Amino acid sequence: MEKFTVKDLNITYNGKNRKKVYAVDDISFELKAGESLGIIGESGSGKSTMIHSFLRLLPEKTAAVTGHAYFDDIDLLNCGEKELKDLRWKEIAVVFQKSMNSLSQIHKIGTQFEDIYRVHYPKARKQEMKEAICNLLEIVNLGPHVYQMYPFELSGGMQQRLNIALSLMFHPSLLIMDEATTALDVITQGQIMDEISEIEKRFSITRIMITHDLSVVASSCERILVIYAGRLVEYGKKEEILRKPLHPYTQGLIQSFPSLYGKKEQLKSIPGTLPDLSQTYQGCIFAPRCRYASERCFKIRPQQYILEGDHKVACHKYGEKKDE
């Protein structure tokens, strides 16, 4: 059964001089309970915008959102404000990029955790909160002594662990991580991802993770969603996409990253730049940068073709193979 389902998601910003920016263009995908999804793509491809739309954090005056994002049977994009507030943190939690900056450096960690706890359980007793918070700290490998410390007394990696602990405070069933480990060194990043994997098994958490680091996706996610300029170009199981990428853009991303399997290969960049998202494009939006592009690619938008299992790819090349 699907835990999280996105259908026909479109997000348009009203830019300067009344220009519209098409940030997310007709994205759909499904995620089953307990699965982990890694979302990858270049900066500016709409990954964070999409995540923010799920929790209705985009500015209403400048961002127009259409489509559906079902959490179980609740449409997050169209449900009431109270229903959404009840889900936030308790059922759906987020660890934002550079979220360690959200910690107050002049208040003790225990005090900050208690303030959040009281929002959801205003009648909770002091001892009850302290026990719950100390248990959280131990889950992310921080001892109970951290309760009485200030954030500035901890390293960046330890502060990031605090934010992960905050996101797990009410044992959410869906955890969203937006570049949550990007600013950390490789060793700390690996430790945190190992801890998250253990936590997911322990609490049966479904996870969506945005990252630029393919090694993080390879080591901690079961599925991968590849986005280019606001469009879904490929979606499927991790092994299928990393070992046999189908879309030219996915192939380019993998070739620009050191081999995950120990092969000695020369790194290659993807030529060109991201398109202007204030313009509309009839055909494949990746065509100007694609070495396989034909005249058809510039004129007709490719549909999503489902190949083996549920491996999806939006590329005319695979439509031609089906027609043969």
Distance CA 158, CA 141 (A): 9
pLDDT exceeds 60 at position 241: yes
Both 64 and 195 in one domain: the answer is yes
Percent of the chain at pLDDT exceeding 70:
95
Domain assignment present for 281: no
- Residue 72 falls within a domain, yes or no? yes
Residue 309 forms part of a structural domain: no
Say whether both 177 and 222 belong to one domain: yes
* 263-284 pLDDT per residue, tens: 777 788 888 888 999 888 989 9
CATH number of the domain encompassing residue 56: 3.40.50.300
Three-state SS for 223? strand
Residue 72 shares a structural domain with residue 86: yes
72 and 7 co-located in one domain? yes
For residue 78, pLDDT over 50 is answered with yes
Whether 210 is in a domain gets the answer yes
pLDDT at site 183: 64
On whether both 262 and 196 belong to a single domain, the answer is: yes
pLDDT band at 156 (very low <50, low <70, confident <90, very high): confident
87, 71 contact by CB (below 8 A): yes
Within-domain flag for 200:
yes
63 occurs within a structural domain: yes
| 132 and 51 share one domain | no
pLDDT confidence bin for 187, thresholds 50/70/90: confident
Place of tokens 């009410």: 170
* Domain edge (last residue) among 137, 169, 201: 169
CA-closest candidate to residue 5, choices 25, 24, 33: 33
**243: in domain:** yes
Q: How confident is the model at residue 193 (pLDDT cuts 50, 70, 90)?
A: confident
- The answer to whether residues 109 and 65 belong to one domain is no
Instruction: Note the maximum CA span of the chain.
Output: 69
Q: Average pLDDT of the chain?
A: 88
Check residues 53 and 323 and name the one with the higher pLDDT. 53
Residue finishing a domain among 169, 196, 228? 169
Q: Are residues 185 and 36 in the same domain?
A: yes
Q: Is the pLDDT of residue 168 over 70?
A: yes
Domain contains 297: no
Question: Who's near 4: CB < 8 A, 6+ residues apart?
Answer: 30, 31, 69, 70, 71, 174, 206, 208
Range of the domain at 255: 2-91+172-266
Whether residues 183 and 260 share a domain: the answer is: yes
Band the pLDDT of 324: cuts 50, 70, 90: very low
Q: For residue 181, what pLDDT is reported?
A: 74
The dihedrals phi and psi of 195, each to the nearest 5 degrees, come to -65, -40
pLDDT number for residue 52: 92
Please identify which residue in the block is written with the tokens 């699907």.
2
Residues 59 and 152 placed together within one structural domain of the fold: no
Distances (CA, A) of 223 to 36, 79, 80, 264: 6, 27, 30, 25
The pLDDT assigned to 322 comes to 52
Strand partners, 5: 30, 70
User: What is the helix (H) or strand (E) element at residue 312, kind and residue range?
Assistant: strand 312-313
User: Among 169, 196, 221, which residue terminates a domain?
Assistant: 169
According to the model, what pLDDT value does residue 97 have?
74
Q: Could you tell me if residue 123 is left (phi over 0), alpha (psi between -120 and 50 degrees) or otherwise beta?
A: alpha
* Structural domains counted in the chain: 2
pLDDT in tens, 27-59: 999 999 989 999 999 888 999 999 999 989 999
- 207 pLDDT exceeds 60? yes
Could you tell me the two tokens for 198? 């253990």
Q: Are 10 and 79 part of one and the same domain?
A: yes
Q: Are residues 143 and 246 in the same domain?
A: no
